[in-house]
Each structure stands twice: as C-alpha cells, then as structure tokens.
Amino acid sequence: MPYNHKAIEKKWRENWEKNPVNVTTNDDGSKREKYYCLDMFPYPSGNGLHVGHWRGYVISDVWSRYKLQQGYYIIHPMGWDAFGLPAENYAIKMGVHPSISTEANIKNIKRQINEIAALYDWDREVNTTDPNFYKWTQWIFVKMFKEGLAYEKEFPINWCPSCKTGLANEEVVNGKCERCGAEVTKKNLRQWMLKITAYADRLLNDLDKLDWPEKVKKMQTDWIGKSYGAEVDFPVEGREEKITVYTTRPDTLYGATFMVLAPEHELAKSLATDETREEVEKYIYDASMKSNVDRMQDKEKTGVFTGSYAINPLNGEKTPIWLSDYVLADYGTGAIMCVPAHDDRDFEFATKFGIPIIQVIAKDGKEIENMTEAYTEASGTMINSGEWNGMESSVLKKEAPHIIEERGIGRATVNYKLRDWVFSRQRYWGEPIPIVHCPKCGNVPVPEEELPLRLPDVESYEPTGTGESPLAAIDEWVNCKCPQCGADAKRETNTMPQWAGSSWYFLRYVDNHNDKELVSREKADAMLPVDMYIGGVEHAVLHLLYSRFYTKFLCDIGVIDFDEPFHKLFNQGMITGKNGIKMSKSKGNVVSPDDLVRDYGCDSLRMYELFVGPPELDAEWDDRGIDGVNRFLKRFWNLVMDSKDANIEATKEMIKERHKLAKDITTRLESFSLNTAISGFMEHNNKLIEIAKKAGGIDTETLSTMAVLLSPFAPHIAEEVWEQLGHEGSVFKAGWPTYDEEAMKDDEIQVPVQINGKTRAVISIAAESSKEEAITAGKEAIADKLTGNIIKEIYVPKKIINIVMK
Ligand code: ANZ
Ligand code: ZN
C-alpha cells in the first residue's frame, strides 16, 4: 500500500474532530500540569495566509504537541486582532464596512489555519472587535482612568497625513508611518495618554525574570532608556527666569560654551531680541512641521541665535542661547547645555556657527591642539575646569550631580527615554474610549456596568482629517447625559489604538465566555501566565512592552496574581521569496500553502516549514525542497509497510538505533533546533532502511517509537502508522519516549594493527566501524611507526588492520 497523504489526512482529520487528542483542561481530575503555548494572533487581512505565516504556527504546534506527549494539558488558543488600521484601510479600499470585510476575512483565514492541523482549541477563540471582548478592553481603560493612569493632554503628536490619524512614537519608523509609509508630521491635538512611564522601573528590572532572547531584552532596555544625570539651572541675563537643562554629563559643565533650546521651549519666542525676532519665529514655525525622527537624523544642523545669554552657574561665563531642532521638546527639559569638545552634535553645531570649543577632558592630561572631532570618551583627566582640574572624569561624572545639588544650582536626576503612550486614534474602527465630557464634572468614565460602550454604525467611516474621529459626526451618539450629574454631556469620539486589545487578549483565552469578569481568578491562577509565546521579532518593543505594562497593572488591581505575561519568548525568522525579498502580494512572490497541501500533504508541508532553516533565522523559500521531506515520509511509510507483518525480533542494532533516534530528536527539540530534528529523522530512517535490508525488516517497537517521535511534526502519518502497527487509541496518548545511554553504546572489539603483516598494536574499536573509521583509529595507534610511504591500507572487518609500507 503506497503512502496516500490525501486519504490518511482526511481520515485523521475526521477522527480528531470526533475524538480530540488535546486535553484542554484539567477538569477530568487528571493531575496533568498546564502548558500554555501562544501564537501572536493575526490581523485578519484580506490577503489570507502564505507559507511564511505557516512557519510560526507550525513551530508553535510542534511545541504544543511535544508538550502534550510529555504529559501536560495544553492551552493553545487562536483569535483575531481585528480592530485597527489594516482592517479599516482594507475595508475602505474595498468599499465595505469593516465589520463585514473583517468577518469574511476571519472565515477565510480560519479555514486556512485549519489546514495546518494545529491543536487550536476554537472554543477559546477571541476577537478583539466582539463587544463581549472589547467590553473588557474598555473596562481596563476605566480602571486606569480611576487610578490616574489614563489622562488627557493637548500635545504635538505624530500625525500621519495619509492615514489621517495620530501615531505613537513606536509606530513611526524612520520618520515614516509604519502602516502606509507616508512621511509623518506633527499636529497639536487633544490626546488620551496612558502613563506607562509610571511602570518604567518595573518594566526594566523585571526583564531579568524572563526567558527571552537577549536581543529583545536589549531592545526593551534601550527603549526604556534609563539614564542618570543632572538638571542644572542657568540664570538668563537680564531676566528673572532660569533655564533648566538636562545633562548626563555634568562633569563637562566648564566646557559648556553655548546653550540650545528646542524650538517649542516655552521661553523660545521670548528670548528673541528686536534684531533676531523675525528669524527666530520663522525657525520655530519650520520646526513644527517636522517629525521627531526626522529631527534626530544625521543631517546638517540648523539653528538660530536668539540674541539672549545665559550664565553658567559654575563659572559665571556668558553663554549664548540658540534654538535648534536637534533638541527635542519632549525629552529632558527641552533645553541643553552644549559642550562641543565632547559631544558630536554640539561639535558639528559649534563648528558650523563659529562658537568656541573648550576641551575639559584630556586623555593623558594633554590638550588637543586643533580639534577635528569631539572627544567623546568619558575617561581622562579634567582640564580647564577650575577646582575640578586633575580629577578623573569618570569619577567626577558620578559625583558631579551631587556637587551640583549641594551648590544649589541644580539636582541629580534619573531620566527615561520612555514616554507616556499616546492612546487615542481619530479613526472609526477601534474601541470607543468610554469617557463622557461633562461641562460640570469634567471627564467622567462610563459606569462599568454600562460597558460595553458599543461602536455605533456610521455612514461614512473614512477618516475626516480634521483631527476628529468619524464618530464625532453622529449627533445621537455623541450627545448623552453625564453619568454623574445627569447634565447634557458629550461622548469622547476618539477610539483606542490597535494595541489596546492585543495588550491583554492572552488573559481572556482562558475564560473567554465569562460575562462577569475579565477572567476569573480561579482560572487565571490555574492556567496563566503564558509559558511559551511565539511570533515575529517585529513586535519586540511595541506589543510586548504594552502587554507587560497591562499585565503589571492588572496584577496591581488584583485581577491576576502575576506581573509578567510571557515566561518564554521565541521569535521565528521570516520566510522570504527568492533573494530574500519579503513575501507580499504587491511583490507578486507569495507562495500559497493550499497547492502544496494538495500535492504533498499537510504533513510534508509542516515538515518542510521547519526544514528550510534554523527557526530563528530568515529563510528563503524554495518549493522544490518539499520533495525531500515528502520522499522521507514515503520511505518511512514503506519501511513500516514492509515490516509490520514480518514479525521481526529486535536486534541489538535496532535497539541501539531506537535509543539514538529518541535522544537525537529530544535533544534537538529541547534546543529548538527544529530543522536539524527533521534531518535527524532522515538520517535515522536511512540507517533503519539499511538495517532492514539485512534483517528483513524492523521490529514494531522501534517503528512505533519513530511514530511517536514523529507525531508532533507529522501528526497524520504518525497516527496512521501507529494504527497500522496494531496500537489501540491515538498516538498522542503514547507519551514521549525515553532513551537509555547504555543501550546506545556500540559493541567494542579488539583488533590487531599490523605494518606489513607484523602486529604492532591491538586497539579496541566499535564493532560496526566502517573501513575508514577502523583505519583512522589503527593509524593513530601506531603513528610514530608510520615513517615510510603507505602503499595500501587493508581492513578485514572485525579481524585485522594492515598497513602496507615501503
Ligand atoms: C551636556 C553633554 C556633554 C551631553 C557631553 C552629552 C555629552 P541620553 O543619554 O540619551 O539621555 N540632551 C538632553 N536633552 C535633550 C533633548 N531634549 N534633545 C536632544 N538632546 C538632549 O542623552 C542625554 C544627553 O543628550 C544630555 O547630556 C544632553 O547633552 C542631550 F559631552 O549635556 B548632554
Ligand atoms: Zn456631570
């Protein structure tokens, strides 16, 4: 009977439908422990899945089934991240309401996902656009509002003119909108903010607890960007106000030869003199049209002198005050002291505008004569620095903030790069922010028992571009009564960002039908947190940081009892088309899994998804490669068919091979080396075929072991083989095979090593050694005697090694 993937896969799909192999709860009284293996849930886009999407889902399914075989009960859910720009843009483009196109897309993708034959427990399915789900997304917001973590602020935010919405810093990549690629600008808008900065230290410190790739931890650490420094107050000549600068290098204070303010700084305009006013105002206006990222980029510095001077509080020097857009308004104090001798940007600026450069740190105490670039190392001896001269700069760097504090000219500070999270979007397709604006009471949250606040239907859901969401146009929705005092009031019309639902969805899976609580404590305690989270590295900062923040908040208010959501994280690499080009519809290089499943079967495609390369690296897709794994499955199948009725008794060789196989697959799985696990199957299968040629077949236990080991990777054929070999019940009830190092040992034999027929040594080698192995070992043993030219090397298996020399 030849291997017929179609028949086998159909048969087992139907069978699993009736008798699910996954144990999804512990309710049966079994003492199984839970294992929660989570995929990053997809956006239901209209393009469907390609072979690149399969990769992550196959990896997570292999891992889930492996854990199932190890005796855990598996929580392996799937759902839909269906709010947000991609779904909405798609809907606008196709001219259908987002809810309709989203539903259709979900249906299609769900069908495709089922083709993977993953253990998904569809009973746990969640959809972020379902009112029963977003009720809790809104509930979390209300809780945050009550705790003072959600607040309103007028703010110059990143604005995408094409998507017509505000964006979080995280959504701006190289000055462009992450979604559509349009140049991002600034717009002053009233925004809802989440105070993620209140959690900065915990988000930083708790990274230590996590079994995550170092790369991702580093990215989060850098994003949070904690630094120690000082604020220094500079009096302004002829004025009352002082300007406070933020610096991480207060040790260089004597070298500060000018000061720069962000163009948005509150004093910027007023520092202008009659001569400079026109130029200053023009500069301020131009800067307002650029994005932060643009401003930070390496390009020629621009700036304008205000005409005013500040006084260096340490030495009383007059320092000119400039405006420049390389200083950001929303970082530190929006004002800096500039030390051109020791900072690249300041050096460039000073050189361009002819400002003096004073070196204050010198390597080996020697002053550089003509500086051509800044000396940026923080090690050296202080010079030109009054009472600090002669000090080691790295020591001073730590002490300076405290000295400044003692002198009363500033204070030591801790600063973070992390900003509060811009949480409102001026779009339709998102969760309405559950706030009522009352003329008397101010901002009042929608009472918790009235949630969900449903997203109303609108006629035109396209963005307005006015800074208001399309919801603002629905009077009967906007006008409402204040929940607190009953006065006429208006609803908030902004919606939440894409990230709102995905920041907590993993909690809901374990109790998705609960209409009383977000998740019951009992279920949360039993099934959370996530043990393994699998997804692309593109979410290293955004989604993973937000999820950690939400989890910590929900822990703080007692909803759950843990404060890190994802114990272990695995980032799979991308599958690319030819020459490493990202697979996308627009590039026309998408490989659809549907045809491959039809021609080779799901099992072959699953295995090939892993075989293409190390799972953590990007891999180029080549359809032809699937032949190789398909051939392996056929050969294994034939071996089973030839052996199953032959009643073969296990030989030592077979037993040895069985244990080696179990060890190889287990260790490769444990180290997540899934591609070499597949090649391991191929090698051992070839070895077994060789053995079978001599012995007339392979014993049932060895073949059964292979079926179990294969079951996480190729579940259908594993089930069929298991049944063909005469076992009752599913292969997934078998349990993961163990192995015994002793049984793997090769038999050793003693062999004489001769030179020209004369025995010179006796060595012990493995009985199964090949000619090559035997001769290499023999030559090693008599290396000092091999002085002439070797003419011939003879190995009489298991008897003699003879080297013929001249
Ligand atoms: C004087 C100085 C001398 C600085 C020196 C650096 C080197 P991090 O580590 O990223 O926090 N800075 C402060 N606020 C800024 C703003 N709003 N926009 C742009 N730059 C700003 O960087 C802190 C340093 O970046 C600060 O220390 C300040 O320049 C600059 F040899 O002050 B420094
Ligand atoms: Zn009111």
Q: Residues 44, 102: contact at Cβ < 8 Å?
A: yes
- Does residue 324 have its Cβ closer than 6 Å to ligand 1? no
- Residues β-bridged to residue 766: 748
CATH for 746-805, options being 3.30.413.10, 3.40.190.10, 3.10.20.590, 3.40.50.880: 3.10.20.590
**156/152 Cα distance (integer angstroms):** 13
Which pLDDT belongs to residue 396?
Answer: 95
Q: Which residues contact residue 67 at a Cβ distance below 8 angstroms, ignoring those fewer than 6 apart?
A: 35, 37, 74
Q: How many helices (H) and strands (E) does the chain have?
A: 25, 31
In three-state secondary structure terms, 47 is: coil
In three-state secondary structure terms, 233 is: strand
Phi then psi dihedrals of residue 234, to 5 deg: -105, 120
Q: Where are the beta strands (DSSP E) in 206-296?
A: 227-235, 242-247, 258-261
Q: What is the 3-state secondary structure (H, E, C) of 740-784?
A: CHHHHCCCEEEEEEEECCEEEEEEEEECCCCHHHHHHHHHHHCHH
Task: Specify the range with the lowest mean pLDDT, choosing from 52-66, 246-260, 355-369, 629-643.
Answer: 355-369
In this structure, the residue with its CA closest to atom 20 of ligand 1 is: 327
Which pLDDT belongs to residue 623?
Answer: 87
Which pLDDT belongs to residue 578?
Answer: 85
Residue type, 337: M
Q: Where are the beta strands (DSSP E) in 595-712?
A: 619-620
- Does residue 343 have its Cβ closer than 6 Å to ligand 1? yes
C-alpha of residue 634 to centroid of ligand 1, in Å: 64
Domain ranges of the chain: 227-415, 593-743, 746-805
Which pLDDT belongs to residue 143?
Answer: 98
Nearest atom in ligand 1 to the alpha carbon of residue 248 is 27
Which pLDDT belongs to residue 175?
Answer: 83
- Does residue 339 have its Cβ closer than 6 Å to ligand 1? yes
C-alpha of residue 200 to centroid of ligand 1, in Å: 20
Helix, strand, coil share of the chain (percent; to 5): 40, 20, 40
Nearest Cα neighbor of 137 from 437, 454, 534 is: 454
The H-or-E segment that residue 61 falls in is helix 51-69
**Residue that wins the pLDDT comparison between 606 and 458:** 606
Which pLDDT belongs to residue 702?
Answer: 97
**Residue that wins the pLDDT comparison between 292 and 559:** 559
Letter string b/e over residues 23-57, b meaning 16 or more CB atoms within 10 A of that residue's CB: bbbeeeeeebebbbbbbbbbbbbbbbbbbbbbbbb
Output the six-digit token pair for 231: 């604020």
- Residues β-bridged to residue 322: 260, 305
Superfamily of domain 593-743: Isoleucyl-tRNA Synthetase; Domain 1 (1.10.730.10)
**Residue that wins the pLDDT comparison between 172 and 486:** 486
C-alpha of residue 380 to centroid of ligand 2, in Å: 62
Task: Specify the range with the lowest mean pLDDT, choosing from 34-38, 249-253, 499-503, 797-801.
Answer: 797-801
Nearest Cα neighbor of 239 from 316, 324, 310 is: 310
Mean pLDDT of 166-174: 80
Output the six-digit token pair for 43: 């956006």
C-alpha of residue 443 to centroid of ligand 2, in Å: 8
- Does residue 357 have its Cβ closer than 6 Å to ligand 1? no
Which pLDDT belongs to residue 491?
Answer: 97
C-alpha of residue 141 to centroid of ligand 2, in Å: 19
In this structure, the residue with its CA closest to atom 32 of ligand 1 is: 247
Task: Specify the range with the lowest mean pLDDT, choosing from 222-226, 284-288, 484-488, 737-741.
Answer: 284-288
- Does residue 260 have its Cβ closer than 6 Å to ligand 1? no
- Does residue 327 have its Cβ closer than 6 Å to ligand 1? yes
C-alpha of residue 107 to centroid of ligand 1, in Å: 52
Which pLDDT belongs to residue 549?
Answer: 98
**211/566 Cα distance (integer angstroms):** 9
Mean pLDDT of 312-336: 93
Asked whether the predicted pLDDT for residue 462 surpasses 90, the reply is no
Question: Which ligand is closest in space to the CA of residue 485?
Answer: 2
- Does residue 414 have its Cβ closer than 6 Å to ligand 1? no
Q: Where are the beta strands (DSSP E) in 124-184?
A: 126-127, 150-160, 165-167, 172-173, 176-177
Mean pLDDT of 445-452: 97
pLDDT grade for 26, boundaries at 50, 70 and 90: low
Which pLDDT belongs to residue 200?
Answer: 97
**Residue that wins the pLDDT comparison between 216 and 766:** 216
**710/706 Cα distance (integer angstroms):** 6
Quickly tell me which residue has 């301020």 as its tokens. 284
- Does residue 415 have its Cβ closer than 6 Å to ligand 1? yes
- Does residue 232 have its Cβ closer than 6 Å to ligand 1? no
C-alpha of residue 333 to centroid of ligand 1, in Å: 10
Which pLDDT belongs to residue 457?
Answer: 85
Q: Residues 350, 340: contact at Cβ < 8 Å?
A: yes
Superfamily of domain 227-415: Valyl/Leucyl/Isoleucyl-tRNA synthetase, editing domain (3.90.740.10)
Quickly tell me which residue has 């990007």 as its tokens. 618
Output the six-digit token pair for 660: 């080696």
* Structure letter (DSSP) for residue 738: P
- Residues β-bridged to residue 36: 75
The H-or-E segment that residue 346 falls in is helix 344-353
Mean pLDDT of 670-692: 97
Which pLDDT belongs to residue 478?
Answer: 95
Q: Residues 307, 269: contact at Cβ < 8 Å?
A: no
Asked whether the predicted pLDDT for residue 628 surpasses 70, the reply is yes
Residue type, 718: A
Q: Report CA-CA distances (Å) from 372 to 342, 350, 375.
A: 11, 12, 9
pLDDT grade for 745, boundaries at 50, 70 and 90: confident
Which pLDDT belongs to residue 291?
Answer: 65
Mean of the per-residue pLDDT values for the chain? 92
**Residue that wins the pLDDT comparison between 458 and 694:** 694
Q: Tell me the ipTM for this assembly.
A: 0.94
Which pLDDT belongs to residue 701?
Answer: 97
Side-chain-facing half-sphere of 204: CA atoms under 13 Å: 16
Which pLDDT belongs to residue 27?
Answer: 67
Mean pLDDT of 127-152: 98
- Pocket probe for ligand 1: among 247, 347, 349, the residue whose CB has the most ligand atoms within 8 Å is 247
- Does residue 336 have its Cβ closer than 6 Å to ligand 1? yes
- Residues β-bridged to residue 488: 481
**Residue that wins the pLDDT comparison between 35 and 584:** 35
Asked whether the predicted pLDDT for residue 28 surpasses 70, the reply is no
C-alpha of residue 85 to centroid of ligand 2, in Å: 33
Which pLDDT belongs to residue 587?
Answer: 78
pTM higher than the cut 0.80: yes
In this structure, the residue with its CA closest to atom 21 of ligand 1 is: 327
Asked whether the predicted pLDDT for residue 675 surpasses 90, the reply is yes
Written as one string, the DSSP assignment of 3-16 is --HHHHHHHHHHHH
Q: Residues 122, 513: contact at Cβ < 8 Å?
A: no
Nearest Cα neighbor of 133 from 593, 452, 610, 394 is: 452
**629/602 Cα distance (integer angstroms):** 12
Which pLDDT belongs to residue 296?
Answer: 63
The model's pLDDT over 206-263, given as tens digits with 9 standing for 90+, comes to 999 999 999 999 999 999 999 889 999 999 999 999 999 999 999 999 999 999 999 9
pLDDT grade for 97, boundaries at 50, 70 and 90: confident
C-alpha of residue 484 to centroid of ligand 2, in Å: 5
Which pLDDT belongs to residue 25?
Answer: 67
In this structure, the residue with its CA closest to atom 28 of ligand 1 is: 247
How many Cβ atoms are within 10 Å of 571's Cβ, its own excluded?
20
Quickly tell me which residue has 């699937």 as its tokens. 626
The model's pLDDT over 547-594, given as tens digits with 9 standing for 90+, comes to 999 999 999 999 999 999 999 999 999 999 888 888 877 778 888 898
67 is in an annotated binding site: no
pLDDT grade for 95, boundaries at 50, 70 and 90: confident
Mean pLDDT of 283-294: 78
- Pocket probe for ligand 1: among 343, 357, 415, the residue whose CB has the most ligand atoms within 8 Å is 343
**292/171 Cα distance (integer angstroms):** 12
pLDDT grade for 705, boundaries at 50, 70 and 90: very high
Mean pLDDT of 326-351: 94
Asked whether the predicted pLDDT for residue 298 surpasses 60, the reply is no
Written as one string, the DSSP assignment of 520-582 is -HHHHHHH-SEEEEEEEGGGTTHHHHHHHHHHHHHHHTTS-S-S-SEEEEEEEPPEE-GGGPB
Question: Which ligand is closest in space to the CA of residue 484?
Answer: 2
Residue type, 209: K
- Does residue 401 have its Cβ closer than 6 Å to ligand 1? no
In three-state secondary structure terms, 639 is: helix
